[in-house]
Amino acid sequence: MKKYLLSIILGFSALTFSACDSWVDNTINVDPNNPVDAPINLVLPSAQVSMAYVVGGDLSRFTGVWMQHFQGVDRQFEVINRYQQTESDPDNAWSTIYQTSLNSMKIVETKATASNSPHYRGIARILMAATYGQIVDVWGDAPFSEALGGNSNLKPKYDKAQDIYAGIQKMLDDGIADCGSATSTLKPDASSDVIYGGNMAKWIKAAHALKARYHWRLGNGPAALTAIANAIGDNADDAMVTFAEDPTGENPLSQFMSQRSGYMTVGVKLVELMNGFDDPRRDAYITADKDGKFTDDCTPGPLFASSSSPVPMVTYAEMMFIRAEIKVGQSEDAEAKQSYTNAIKSSMKMAGVSDTEVATYLGKSEIMPSSALTLQHVMEQKYIAMYTQPETFSDWRRTGIPALTAPANAVGPTPRRFMYPISERLYNPNTPSGVTTSNKLFWDTRP
């Protein structure tokens, strides 16, 4: 009897479920607030902002404290200021970069290919190259060729940093070709591209600027100069992500300073150099104290620490400083001074400094010597101009300029790299072992 009853129940169930298929709305259990897919024009700006939030957030703060753009004075950042970093510190940055930023860029690339939209694909490839450049320059070896495989590969291998650098240059070349395509089914605009508003010519310039950065990191001056000739040519072409006054979309440094008040001030070396040069950018870089003085007890100023401040990706000033550095090495003083002057003027313009103040600054012998320009001149001024940017960390490792005096309670020498995050050590057996912040990257050859 039980056998027949079970058969009847199963038969009724099959009939019921079969009948339901014909009238139940298949979308009834779909949550409209959690879409499983999104159009390409919404994924791209998400990728851009998430990348900028990490670069202008954890990467900027950690490297900035070590480079004395900032000073950690409380909690986690007092520890970072002692030149210590735990495996947990970079975990959030790593996870956001791979899970959000790069994954979103990969989605844009895939959707762009499927829809025959090379303009979107070109932007995605340039952004991916810039993001992998940030990864390599603070971590070294990293997932690259097997990265972004999702559930199909949760334990990707770590590629050598040298190989990732080669991959970055190829991504940039491919991105330049895509952005230069005569046709594109879907075209980014001001609402979908928060950096350049869909201007392909500017994206091509930014890609050449990034090529220059990574060629020069390896000491390839001729290739860097060729790239600079095709790169960003003035401040209007700077690649920036600008944030909003809205508390949910404000600049990462601004958000940190308001939510973690008292954790961090401006750095000792930044204050020393800017006060020593009587730098007219101080009002933009540093919030003066109640006596109108600029000290290392002050907090970051409005240029890069207001809610709507931009996070730079690559700029004209950087290009001119690279060119000046190369020309100094080639003993071409006139060329070096011209590029150096252009770089300083670019930085001053961003900070809202008047032409009269710029002329006064450049007229100082300690800024513009009558004798030949030196590497120290170039790199100290670049250090000031690149305030808040992780690129300063790479410059210091290459050149040792500016000279940094370690805090009295430092536990060792100035770090040369980040620790790998604890999530990687625990869940990916391919993570390099025995890495400390004292280990150098492959291009870091300075004693």
Dump pLDDT digits (tens) for 136-160: 999 999 999 999 998 999 999 999 9
Q: Does some domain include residue 3?
A: no
228 with 212: CB under 8 angstroms?
A: yes
pLDDT tens per residue across span 258-285: 999 999 999 999 999 999 999 999 999 9
CB proximity list for 358: less than 8 A, separation 6 or greater: 280, 344, 345, 348
Its domain, for residue 380, covers 40-237+261-427
185 with 203: CB under 8 angstroms?
A: no
pLDDT confidence bin for 12, thresholds 50/70/90: very low
Top pLDDT among 8 and 301 is at 301
Question: Which pLDDT score is estimated for 8?
Answer: 33
Whether 172 has a pLDDT exceeding 80, the answer reads yes
pLDDT tens per residue across span 345-401: 999 999 999 999 999 999 999 999 999 999 999 999 999 999 999 999 999 999 999
42-46, 133-137, 241-245: least confidently modelled range: 241-245
Q: Does some domain include residue 70?
A: yes
Q: Does some domain include residue 15?
A: no
Say which CATH number the domain at 139 has. Answer: 1.25.40.390
| Structural domain count of the chain | 1
In whole angstroms, give the CA distance from residue 341 to residue 338.
5
Q: Does some domain include residue 442?
A: no
Q: Does some domain include residue 414?
A: yes
Q: Does some domain include residue 17?
A: no
Q: Does some domain include residue 31?
A: no
Which two tokens mark 189? 């605009």
Q: Does some domain include residue 14?
A: no
CB proximity list for 224: less than 8 A, separation 6 or greater: 211, 212, 213, 215, 216, 322, 326
Share of the chain above pLDDT 70, in %: 92
